Amino acid sequence: MRTFQRVAVLGFGTMGGGIAQVVAASGRDVVVLETNQERIDRGFATVRGFLDEGVRRGKSTEADRDAVLERISAITDVAGLAGVDLVIEAVTERQDVKVELLARVAEVVGEDTVLTTNTSALSVTDLAAHLPRPGRMAGLHYFNPAPLMELVEVVRALQTDAAVIADLVSFVEDLGKSPVEVKDRPGFLVNRLLMPYLNDVVQEYDNDLATADDVDVAIQLGLGYKLGPLALLDLIGIDVHQHATESAYEATLDPQFAPPPLLSQMVAAGYLGNKSGRGFRVGTTEQGEGR
């Protein structure tokens, strides 16, 4: 069973930074690839801020924080990835970008190196088909924020070797996370079940069934959920959900994945949720009024 001691993370944004932090906290060395120094600095600042909050809350010590940061290095040249035994890609959700980057990485790393993607919407099988060693490609779908969320979906592409999946399951467990093996289907498991639910909520909200505030309160109190669906969409990113549902609909032509028109309108208006300061619940002038 491989333990994957030197790990590369492609991308130092929200997900890439969170994944790098989780891996480094397990005692492994992590090298992050980014496009420029500004993005690297921003990534380190975000990780440090997250770790500082843990120290402030008494969840960890300053020594723990410093040890995690010391295990993370960052580069801008793909050549610096030579010698890693596991790659976790966490760049923008565009297939052409992922394919181009993973293909360049595959030329640098060893033949036994496992390549994985953190995509939540794209086909891992399609990505693997563009790589020289598709049997060494799989999905590792972390949830946001990666340091706090326990679940990781281990996605088997049609080409993925069984031994690779077994190694990745063991790796995720060693990170202190809970792996779930899933087949490569649009949305995998969690999002495949979540997307139709969120679409229905948005459509009923648009039909003026209830205010955004009352929708979320009803779901939280009626079903025992920690977070209401519209607040969840603000957290995820309304544009992220729209992209995921569009991808799933294009792949399946299943109407349950078709994004409601309101999603497209909000994205066009720049109402993307928490990250833009305006969405269904965040940044509204009247509680419950998201438009």
Catalytic hit among 26, 89, 123, 153 = 153
Average pLDDT over residues 217-223: 97
Residues 53 and 129 both lie in one domain: yes
Average pLDDT over residues 168-185: 97
pLDDT category at 286 given cuts 50, 70, 90 is very low
Mean pLDDT of the chain: 94
Domain C-terminal end among 148, 183, 218? 183
Residues 131 and 238 both lie in one domain: no
CATH code: domain of residue 19 = 3.40.50.720
Please state, for a pLDDT cut of 70, what percent of the chain lies above it. 97
Average pLDDT over residues 221-234: 96
Alpha helices in the chain (DSSP H): 14-25, 37-56, 62-70, 95-108, 124-129, 162-174, 190-206, 212-223, 229-236, 238-252, 261-269
| Sign of the Cα pseudo-torsion (57, 71, 139, 273, in order) | positive
Residues 235 and 153 both lie in one domain: no
Residues 152 and 209 both lie in one domain: no
pLDDT at 285: 47
Residues 143 and 196 both lie in one domain: no
Tell me if residue 191 is catalytic: yes
Tell me if residue 118 is catalytic: no
Domain C-terminal end among 183, 212, 247? 183
Residues 31 and 91 both lie in one domain: yes
Q: What is the DSSP code string of 190-222?
A: HHHHHHHHHHHHHHHHHTTSS-HHHHHHHHHHH
Tell me if residue 274 is catalytic: no
Q: pLDDT for 129-151, tens place per residue? A: 999 999 999 999 999 899 999 99
In a domain, 283, yes or no: no
In a domain, 86, yes or no: yes
pLDDT at 290: 45
In a domain, 229, yes or no: yes
Residues 177 and 212 both lie in one domain: no
In a domain, 215, yes or no: yes
pLDDT at 206: 96
pLDDT of 97 > 50? The answer is yes
The gap from C-alpha 227 to its chain's centroid, in whole angstroms, comes to: 18
Catalytic hit among 34, 141, 199, 243 = 141
pLDDT of 283 > 60? The answer is yes
Hey, is 188 helix, strand or coil? Answer: coil
How many domains is the chain partitioned into structurally?
A: 2
pLDDT at 131: 97
In a domain, 158, yes or no: yes
Q: pLDDT for 7-61, tens place per residue? A: 999 999 999 999 999 999 999 999 999 999 999 999 999 999 999 999 999 999 9
Residues 26 and 125 both lie in one domain: yes
Average pLDDT over residues 197-201: 97
pLDDT of 117 > 90? The answer is yes
Domain C-terminal end among 183, 218, 235? 183
User: 83-106 burial, b if ≥16 CB within 10 A, otherwise e?
Assistant: ebbbbbbbbebeeeebbebbeebb
pLDDT at 144: 87
Residues 131 and 163 both lie in one domain: yes
Q: 227: domain range?
A: 191-269
pLDDT of 288 > 70? The answer is no
Joined tokens for residue 233: 């969409």
pLDDT at 291: 46
In a domain, 13, yes or no: yes
Tell me if residue 141 is catalytic: yes
Average pLDDT over residues 89-117: 96
Average pLDDT over residues 113-118: 98
pLDDT of 287 > 50? The answer is no
pLDDT of 1 > 90? The answer is no
CATH code: domain of residue 195 = 1.10.1040.10
Residues 160 and 199 both lie in one domain: no
In a domain, 289, yes or no: no
Residues 216 and 126 both lie in one domain: no
Residues 233 and 263 both lie in one domain: yes
Catalytic hit among 26, 118, 120, 199 = 120
Catalytic hit among 26, 191, 247, 276 = 191
pLDDT at 236: 87
In a domain, 290, yes or no: no
